[in-house]
Amino acid sequence: DIQMTQSPSSMSASVGDRVTITCRASQGINRWLAWYQQKPGKAPKLLIYGASTLESGVPSRFSGSGSGTDFTLTISSLQPEDFATYYCQQGIGIPRTFGQGTRLEIK
């Protein structure tokens, strides 16, 4: 299985901050990487696919980059509605695997 490791596991930040979350794959996955946002009691929501393509309707303050094994999700200016848990997911191998999540909390 391809292991996906996110860092940090949790972090606190303030509204307006720039935040970066990283995801590392245990083997190369080209750009087959997606990012999701999940709020308590809700299903994950697709934010970014193909490592850097923004899903329709997702605010442009979200961006993704990377290829191979190392990827980042950046939120350029945190908004109150962005406090949630974020997951990466690889889409090249079976089984599909997710990172363990990064919980983003209000400072």
Partner 1 sequence: QVHLQESGPGLVKPSETLSLTCTVSGDSTSSRSYRWAWIRQSPGTGLEWIGEIYYDGTTDYNPSLKSRLIISLDTSKNEFSLRLTSVTAADTAVFFCARHYGNNYDYWGQGILVTVS
Interface ranges with partner 1 (CB under 8 A): 32, 34, 36, 42-46, 49-50, 55, 87, 89, 91-92, 94-101
Question: Which letter does DSSP use for residue 82 in this model?
Answer: G
DSSP character string of 39-68:
-TTS--EEEEETTTEEPTT--TTEEEEEET
Of 16 and 42, which has the nearer Cβ to partner 1? 42
Of 1 and 77, which has the nearer Cβ to partner 1? 1
Distance (Å, rounded) from C-alpha 23 to C-alpha 32? 12
Of 13 and 58, which has the nearer Cβ to partner 1? 58
State the nearest-atom distance from the C-beta of 17 to partner 1, in Å.
Answer: 25
State the nearest-atom distance from the C-beta of 83 to partner 1, in Å.
Answer: 19
Which token pair is 87? 């997951």
